[in-house]
Amino acid sequence: METAREESARGSDDDAAQEDTTSVADVSVEVATVDATLNKLCRRYNGRRRRAKKIKKKNPILDLQNLAILITVVVFVIVVIMWSLLWVFIFRRESNSGVYFAGMFRVANVEFIPEYRHADSSEFVSMANRIQHVITSVYRTSSVSRLYKQTVISDLSNNNQGGVLVHFWMIFVVPHLKTPSVCEDCVSAILKDSVHMSLQNRSSVGFLQGLPVDIDSILVNVALRSDYSSTAVGSQCVDKLYAGVPDVSIPLNVFSSWGGLSCYIKLTSAPGSVIRLTVKSFRIDPSDCVYDALTVYDSLLPMRGMILYRVCESVSAPISLVSTSNVMLLSFRLTQGNKIFRGHFQALMEEQCMNTIALPAGPGDAGVITSPFFPSLLPRQCSCTWMFQMPSGALGVALRFQNYMLKLKDLQNCEHGWWKINEIIYCGNYIDYSTVFRIPAQNPEVVFRCSSRSADQSFNATYSSYNTSQPCPEGHFLCSTGLCVEKFRRCDGLDDCQDESDEMFCSKPPKICGGLSPLHPLYICNGETDCSSGKDEINCTQETSCSGVSYQCGNGACILKKNAKCDGLHDCYDRSDEKDCACGNPTASKRVSDSAATQQRIVGGINAMEGEWPWQVSMHFSGQMYCGASVLSDEWLLSAAHCFSKERLADPRMWMAHLGMLNQGSAKHVAEIRRFVVHEYYNARNFDYDIALVQLKKAWPSSLEKYIQPICLPAPSQTFTEGHRCWVTGWGYRSEQDKILPTVLQKAEVSIISQSECKRSYGAVSPRMLCAGVPSGEQDACRGDSGGPLSCQAHSGGRWFLTGVVSWGSGCGRPNFPGVYTRVAKFVDWIQRHIQNL
Helix (H/G/I), strand (E/B), else coil: 707: coil
Q: Are residues 710 and 764 in the same domain?
A: yes
- What CATH number corresponds to the domain at position 392? 2.60.120.290
Q: Which residues contact 320 (CB under 8 A, 6 or more apart)?
A: 276, 277, 278, 279, 375, 376, 377
Angle between helix 184-196 and 122-140 (nearest 10): 100
What pLDDT does 229 receive?
A: 82
Residue 492 within a domain: no
Q: Percent of the chain scored above 90 by pLDDT?
A: 57
Residue 98, Cα to own-chain centre: how many angstroms? 26
pLDDT classification of 63: cutoffs 50, 70, 90:
low
Domain final residue, candidates 202, 223, 244: 223
Q: What is the pLDDT of residue 90?
A: 47
Residue 625 in domain: yes
User: For 731-758, what is the mean pLDDT?
Assistant: 90
Kindly tell me if the per-residue pLDDT of 208 is higher than 80. yes
Q: Is the pTM of this model over 0.95?
A: no
Whether the pLDDT of residue 17 is over 70: the answer is: no
- The answer on pLDDT for 273 being more than 60 is yes
Q: What is the CATH number of the domain that holds 764?
A: 2.40.10.10
pLDDT, tens only, 299-313: 999 999 999 999 998
Give tens-digit pLDDT for 308-328: 999 998 998 999 999 999 999
Cα angle: 44, vertex 47, 49; to 5 degrees: 110
Q: pLDDT tens across 390-422, in order?
A: 988 899 999 999 999 999 999 889 999 999 998
> Which residues, 6+ apart, have CB-to-CB distance to 540 below 8 Å?
524, 525, 559, 560, 561, 564, 571
- Other beta carbons within 10 angstroms of residue 332's beta carbon come to 22
Query: Is residue 708 domain-shared with residue 686, that is, in the same domain?
Result: yes
Percent of the chain having pLDDT more than 70?
A: 87
Q: Which of 341, 303, 294, 135 is nearest to 223 (CA)?
A: 303
366/345 same-domain check = no
**CB 323, CB 379: distance < 8 Å:** yes
Please spell the DSSP secondary structure of 466-518, one letter per residue: EETT-SS-TTEEE-TTS-EEEGGGTTSSS-SSSSSTTSTTPPPPP---SSSSP
Q: What mean pLDDT comes out for the span 699-712?
A: 93
DSSP lists the bridge partners of residue 315 as 282
Q: What is the pLDDT of residue 463?
A: 95
**29-43, 494-508, 727-741, 802-816: least confidently modelled range:** 29-43
Residue 384 and residue 345 in one domain? no
Whether residue 570 lies inside any domain: the answer is no
The candidate with the shortest Cα–Cα distance to 333, out of 277, 295, 286, 288, is 295
In angstroms, the CA 821 to CA 687 distance is 10
**Is pLDDT above 50 for 277?**
yes
Q: Are residues 345 and 390 in the same domain?
A: no
444 and 358 in one domain? Answer: yes
Distance CA 206, CA 105 (A): 12
Q: 210 and 272: one domain?
A: no
**Least confident piece of the model among 26-30, 183-187, 264-268, 736-740:** 26-30
Closest CA to 300 of 319, 275, 272, 273: 275
Examine residue 268 and state whether it is found in any structural domain, yes or no: yes
Question: Taking all residues of the chain, what is their mean pLDDT, rounded to a whole number?
Answer: 85
| Domain containing residue 214 | 98-223
Least Cα distance to 402 among 449, 436, 448 occurs for 436
Return the active site residues. Answer: 642, 690, 786
573 inside domain: no
pLDDT at 642 over 90: yes
Task: Look at residues 349, 372, 388 and tell me which one is the last residue of a structural domain.
Answer: 349
331 lies in the same domain as 381: no
Helix residue spans in 87-168 (DSSP H) = 92-95, 122-140
- Cβ pair 116, 105 in contact under 8 A: no
Q: Would you call 356 exposed, middle or buried from its count of C-beta atoms within 10 A (0-12, 13-18, 19+)?
A: exposed
586 lies in some domain: no
CB 741 within 8 A of CB 761: no
DSSP run (H or E) holding 437 = strand 435-439
> Rounded to an integer, what distance in angstroms lies between the CA atom of residue 808 and that of residue 787?
10
Secondary element (H or E) of residue 219: strand 211-223
Q: Measure the CA–CA gap between 479 and 435, rounded to whole angstroms.
A: 9
Same domain? 617 vs 690: yes
Structural domain total, the chain:
4
270 lies in the same domain as 177:
no
Q: Are residues 295 and 417 in the same domain?
A: no
State pLDDT tens for residues 652-697: 999 999 999 999 999 999 999 999 999 999 999 999 999 999 999 9
> Kind of pairing, strands 769-773 and 789-793?
unpaired
Distance between CA atoms of residues 702 and 695, nearest Å? 17
Same domain, 613 and 688: yes
Q: Choose the weakest-confidence range: 179-193, 224-238, 397-411, 679-693.
A: 224-238
* Separation CA 582–CA 800 (nearest Å): 11
Residue 274 lies in a domain: yes
pLDDT at 838 over 60: no
Instruction: For residue 702, tell me if it sits in a domain.
Output: yes
CATH of the domain at 189: 3.30.70.960
Nearest to 639 by CA among 651, 630, 650, 649: 630
Instruction: Collect all residues with Cβ–Cβ distance below 8 Å to 553 and sequence separation of at least 6.
Output: 559, 571, 572, 573, 574, 576, 577
Domain C-terminal end among 160, 189, 223: 223
